[in-house]
Amino acid sequence: MNAAAGSAPGGRLDAALDSPIIGMSPWIIFSVLVGPGRYELAVSLALAVAVLLVVLGRVLRRGRSVKILEVSDIAFFAVLAVIGVMASPGTLHWLETYAGELSNLALVLIAFGSMAAGTPFTLQYARERVGREYWDSPEFRRANQVITGAWGLAFLVSAIAGGYGDLVLHNPNNLWTGWVIQIASIVMAVSFTEWYPQVVRSRRSDGHPPPVRHLLTPLAGLLIPMGVLALVFDASASWFGVALIILGVVLARAIGKDAEMTRLRGGHSREKRQGRRLR
């Protein structure tokens, strides 16, 4: 998308709708919110967001393609909503406990199933952002296989963490299995979705790939709030919560210094090139 499109009315929203991250937002909302006493709220919000995304996509761009993920969003959460209305108290309790794992596993199947079919679900979003001449290139398709696989793994980690909390710990609201691990896996998938295309572009242009710190920066930023939550909710030994906070501070400072050094080196390089041109 060019700069003019991005600055036009609705341009930023239009660009956001072309991101697979936005397409997965109903699943993320549901998997994070669902739990004892929150099933109706979680499924209602997820379904509302899924419908809103489709409507906005049709209004802002009539030629925009219907995405596999968008159809899956509405179908899955509509079915869950109907089941929730008709469910007995016992069934509703089961859904409140395990629906988060079901949604995560459903997205795992969508991700790896679309990869196996040769059409990873991120491909449809990526095609909205690049020229048609790139659509069938092996490099473009391979990049989307990798990104879709990253999302599949992220939701598999979330499903395993949630399942462990429900089946082994018998505590759906466990801070680590129900919240921290699942949010961290999603944050890393979001970061990878933004980072990996830059790696691919750098390979094509023989430029410098983005440093790995760009990929890890969001995770480093989570360590401090993780430690604080662990201390506030007494979710682990006190030393572990303190260690997470200290590690987060150390990593944040290291990443900040590395970024500053990179910026200074880039500035020195530009000055040298300008000096050579003047001579």
DSSP letters, 63-125, are TPPPPHHHHHHHHHHHHHHHHHHH--HHHHHHHHHHHHHHHHHHHHHHHHHHHHTT--HHHHH
Question: Where among 176, 194, 210 does a domain terminate?
Answer: 210
Q: What are phi and psi of 18, to 5 degrees?
A: -90, 10
Same-domain status, 272 and 188? no
Q: Determine how many CB atoms are found less than 10 A away from the CB of residue 66.
A: 11
| 135 and 231 within one domain | no
The pLDDT tens digits for 64-118 are 677 888 888 899 999 999 999 999 999 999 998 899 899 999 999 999 999 999 8
pLDDT string in tens for the chain (279-residue length): 333 334 344 466 666 667 788 888 898 899 888 888 889 999 999 999 999 988 887 776 665 677 888 888 899 999 999 999 999 999 999 998 899 899 999 999 999 999 999 889 899 888 888 888 888 888 899 999 999 999 999 999 999 999 999 999 988 888 889 888 988 999 899 899 989 988 888 887 777 778 877 787 887 788 888 888 888 888 778 888 898 888 888 887 877 776 666 666 555 555 555 555 545
Residues 105 and 242 in one domain: no
Which residue among 178, 210, 242 closes a domain?
210
Nearest to 56 by CA among 18, 95, 2, 6: 18
Are 85 and 14 members of one domain? yes
Domain range holding 257?
216-279
Residue 266, judged by CB atoms within 10 A of its CB (0-12, 13-18, 19+), counts as exposed
210, 235, 263: which is the final residue of a domain?
210
Question: Left, alpha or beta for 37 (phi > 0: left; psi -120 to 50: alpha)?
Answer: left
Token pair for residue 157? Answer: 């980690």
Residues 37 and 99 in one domain: yes
